[in-house]
Amino acid sequence: MRIGELSKRTGVPVPTIKFYLREGLLPHGRLTSHNQAQYGEEHLHRIKLVRAMTEVGKLSVAAAREVLEAVDEPGNGVHQVLGVAQSAITPQVAPEDSEVWQRAEARVAELVRRRGWQVRPGIPAEQALVQLVVTFDELGQQDLLTLLDDYAQAAEQLAKSELAAIGRRDGVDAMVEGAVLGTVLGDALIGAMRRLAQSDASHRLFEGTPE
Amino acid sequence: MRIGELSKRTGVPVPTIKFYLREGLLPHGRLTSHNQAQYGEEHLHRIKLVRAMTEVGKLSVAAAREVLEAVDEPGNGVHQVLGVAQSAITPQVAPEDSEVWQRAEARVAELVRRRGWQVRPGIPAEQALVQLVVTFDELGQQDLLTLLDDYAQAAEQLAKSELAAIGRRDGVDAMVEGAVLGTVLGDALIGAMRRLAQSDASHRLFEGTPE
């Protein structure tokens, strides 16, 4: 199909598709004359994937390109691409040289050990977690930190179901795409669910009571 | 204390504190002369709260101000402030006029009904969830959508523990602050936990297997 039909079928304007081509988010079509190219179903799917990552998952163009390069790299398996996708969405946190930071680091390391999670020490997610523990601690919210194990338990169950579903797919390409989408969109998914559930729980607990 | 000590004790530079004052994120101190003000422990705590919301929770200054105004409004209870905090962190999604959208809307409404969640229909989180279902659907990831109930279950357990912990606090102010922090930082918390748990699950499932 031509670029116009690609635009019509995806709902993405032609200038945006040209931007994706320029930025390396979308592979070029097959040239049929000096100024015309043909695109296939794989381009259609890739455009939807780029939209999902940038519009719904809020990834920057640079982060989306990094993830797609890992997806396209022959020989990359699920575990490698998952690592790249995780890095792309996890803000880098620089460790602080303070006592409260060290205490939080020890607490997170102990949590990881207790759950038996086999993760490379110091991965971005672990540092992000340490920073959150420090933040709750410094704001005097120690009671909320007692919920860390509930969060870990919930995360572990979700990760197991998600990776198991991905592992049931046919072929590495489909698994890799599932890992990317689960990572990039999964945060938004659990976030939206939490807000609905919080809204219900707070309604039950606090609504109608005199303040 | 003077602004210099406020800066030293929070680690936030004086120009940033002045910015918070100008932007209405921090109440003004008590004037002791025409160009000097005194600040108390409540200012110290408020600066840490602003840092937590903007630096760790990645709220915009406008969103943080909106939440703090709701926190400061006398008579606002936990449920009201939670709603404002949720709106501040949930991207507004415009419903699309398409069949796939309507199908997703019905699916989410049915999920909410099945779980017995009492939420105002059409709240931002519900629309965000519909958009995610549409996105997974359009990308042919129907197998991941079978996990929606797992996500709902996990979210419900977390919301119950979180709101219960907040409800055990002394006084509405402490409850309100807990609701804000749980909402604004809770996404980052479950996100970091998911990445650690995913990394472990994918290591166990995929690592070492030939691709």
A179 in a domain, yes or no? Answer: yes
A52, A119, A135: residue with CB nearest B139: A52
* Interchain contact, A143 vs B165, CB within 8 Å: yes
* Interchain contact, A178 vs B117, CB within 8 Å: no
Regarding whether A115 and A25 lie in a shared domain, the answer is no
- What type of residue is A141? Q
Q: What is the pLDDT of residue A50?
A: 94
- CA B43, CA B49: separation in Å to the nearest integer? 10
Q: Which residue has the tokens 């994918």?
A: B202
Regarding whether A155 and A110 lie in a shared domain, the answer is yes
The number of folded domains in chain B is 2
- CA B203, CA A83: separation in Å to the nearest integer? 10
Query: A194, A91, A161: which is closest to B192 by C-alpha?
Result: A91
Categorize the per-residue pLDDT at B13 as very low, low, confident or very high, splitting at 50, 70 and 90: very high
**Among candidate residues B10, B36, B56, the one where a domain is terminated:** B56
Spatial neighbors of A184 by CB under 8 A, at least 6 apart, are A52, A53, A57, A59, A67, A85, A88, A89
Regarding whether B191 and B139 lie in a shared domain, the answer is yes
Using DSSP, state whether B179 is helix, strand or coil.
helix
Pairing type for strands A30-33 and A36-38 reads: antiparallel
Q: How far is B192 from chain A (nearest CA, A)?
A: 5
Regarding whether A96 and A48 lie in a shared domain, the answer is no
Regarding whether B24 and B95 lie in a shared domain, the answer is no
A58, A151, A203: residue with CB nearest B79: A203
B83 in a domain, yes or no? Answer: no
B163 in a domain, yes or no? Answer: yes
- CA B160, CA B182: separation in Å to the nearest integer? 12
Q: How far is B34 from chain A (nearest CA, A)?
A: 32
**Is residue A69 over pLDDT 50?**
yes
**Is residue B23 over pLDDT 90?**
yes
Count the Cβ atoms, other than its own, within 10 Å of residue A35. 6
Q: Are A82 and B202 in contact (CB under 8 A)?
A: yes
Using DSSP, state whether B1 is helix, strand or coil.
coil
Give the residue from A81, A151, A175 with the most B CB atoms within 10 Å of its CB, the best one to mutate: A151
A67 in a domain, yes or no? Answer: no
Regarding whether A176 and A95 lie in a shared domain, the answer is yes
Output the six-digit token pair for A82: 């998952």
- CA A149, CA A134: separation in Å to the nearest integer? 16
* Interchain contact, A49 vs B139, CB within 8 Å: yes
Q: Which residue has the tokens 């680690």?
A: B11
* Interchain contact, B191 vs A90, CB within 8 Å: yes
- CA A199, CA A52: separation in Å to the nearest integer? 26
- What type of residue is B171? G
**Among candidate residues A56, A75, A100, the one where a domain is terminated:** A56
Interface ipTM? 0.90
A165 in a domain, yes or no? Answer: yes
**Is residue A171 over pLDDT 90?**
no
Q: What is the pLDDT of residue A209?
A: 47
Q: What is the pLDDT of residues A96-119, one digit of tens each?
A: 889 999 999 999 999 999 999 999
- CA A111, CA A117: separation in Å to the nearest integer? 9
A51, A79, A112: residue with CB nearest B206: A79
What is the percent of chain A where pLDDT is above 70? 98
**Is residue A208 over pLDDT 70?**
no
Using DSSP, state whether B116 is helix, strand or coil.
coil
Regarding whether B192 and B129 lie in a shared domain, the answer is yes
- CA A107, CA A117: separation in Å to the nearest integer? 14
Q: What is the pLDDT of residue B88?
A: 87
Q: What is the pLDDT of residue B95?
A: 87
- CA A93, CA A124: separation in Å to the nearest integer? 7
Which chain A residue has the Cα nearest residue B210? A77
- CA B181, CA B172: separation in Å to the nearest integer? 14
Q: Are A198 and B162 in contact (CB under 8 A)?
A: yes
CB contacts of B152 in chain A (<8 Å) are: 193, 197
Regarding whether A181 and A101 lie in a shared domain, the answer is yes
Which chain B residue has the Cα nearest residue A85? B195
A73 in a domain, yes or no? Answer: no
Mean pLDDT (chain B, rounded): 91
Domain residue limits at A133: 88-206
Give the residue from B133, B194, B205 with the most A CB atoms within 10 Å of its CB, the best one to mutate: B194
Which chain B residue has the Cα nearest residue A108? B193
A64 in a domain, yes or no? Answer: no
Output the six-digit token pair for B92: 């507004």
Q: How far is B172 from chain A (nearest CA, A)?
A: 7
Output the six-digit token pair for A207: 């609504």
- CA A36, CA B186: separation in Å to the nearest integer? 49
Regarding whether B190 and B150 lie in a shared domain, the answer is yes
What b/e readout covers A52-90, taking b as 16+ CB neighbours within 10 angstroms? bbbebbebeeebbbbbbebbeeeebbbbbbbbbbbbbbb
Categorize the per-residue pLDDT at B209 as very low, low, confident or very high, splitting at 50, 70 and 90: very low
Regarding whether B92 and B43 lie in a shared domain, the answer is no
A117, A136, A147: residue with CB nearest B200: A117
What is the percent of chain A where pLDDT is above 90? 70
B52 in a domain, yes or no? Answer: yes
Q: How far is B80 from chain A (nearest CA, A)?
A: 9
3-state helix, strand, coil split of chain A in percent (to 5) is 70, 5, 25
Regarding whether A183 and A140 lie in a shared domain, the answer is yes
Regarding whether B170 and B98 lie in a shared domain, the answer is yes
Across A65-81, average pLDDT: 89
